[in-house]
Structure 1
Amino acid sequence: MSKKYQSHYCGVCDEQKREGIFVYQMFICQECEQKIVSTKPNDENYEYYIDKMKAINKSSYTV
C-alpha cells in the first residue's frame, strides 16, 4: 500500500511543501516554522515574518 502525500503552498515562503503545520487555514512549512520560532526581534527578517503572520487574520478561506 502506498501513501499519498498532499502538498500545500506555504503562506510564508509561497513554495509548495509536504511537511508543515496549519495555523487556522494558513499552511506554514517546517522550514519557515523553524525560522519563525528562532527569529529574534532585532533580526532583519523579523518584520517580514510578522507581516506574513498577520495574513492569518485576512484569510479569505471559509468553512
Structure 2
Amino acid sequence: MATTTKTVYIKGKRSCGVCQSMKEAGLSLGSLFLCQDCEQEIMRLEPGEDAYQTCVDALKRLWN
C-alpha cells in the first residue's frame, strides 16, 4: 500500500502540541498543531515504547 505525506505550511511559527517546539511546517489537526519531527516520530513508534504514551496523551487533546 502506498503512503502519502501531506504537510501544511502556515505563516509564522506555531507551538507543536507534542514537543512544544516552535515550528513553521507541520499538520494542523483541529486545534492541535503537529510538527514534522513529531509526525515522523509518531509514525515509527510502537506501543510500549517510552514516548508512545506521551504522544497518545498529546493527540487526545484533539477532542478536548
Does the TM-score normalized on the shorter chain lie above 0.5? yes
TM-score (norm 2): 0.77
TM-score (norm 1): 0.78
Any unmatched runs of 5+ in structure 1? 59-63
Percent identity, please: 31
* More strand, by proportion: 2
Moved over 3 A (4+): none
Any unmatched runs of 5+ in structure 2? 1-10
Which one of the candidate residues 45, 48, 56 is aligned to 2:54? Answer: 48
Which one of the candidate residues 31, 38, 42 is aligned to 2:37? Answer: 31
When Rg is computed on C-alpha atoms for both structures, the one with the higher figure is 1
How many correspondences in the alignment?
Answer: 54
Equivalents in 2 of 1:10, 1:28: separation in Å? Answer: 5
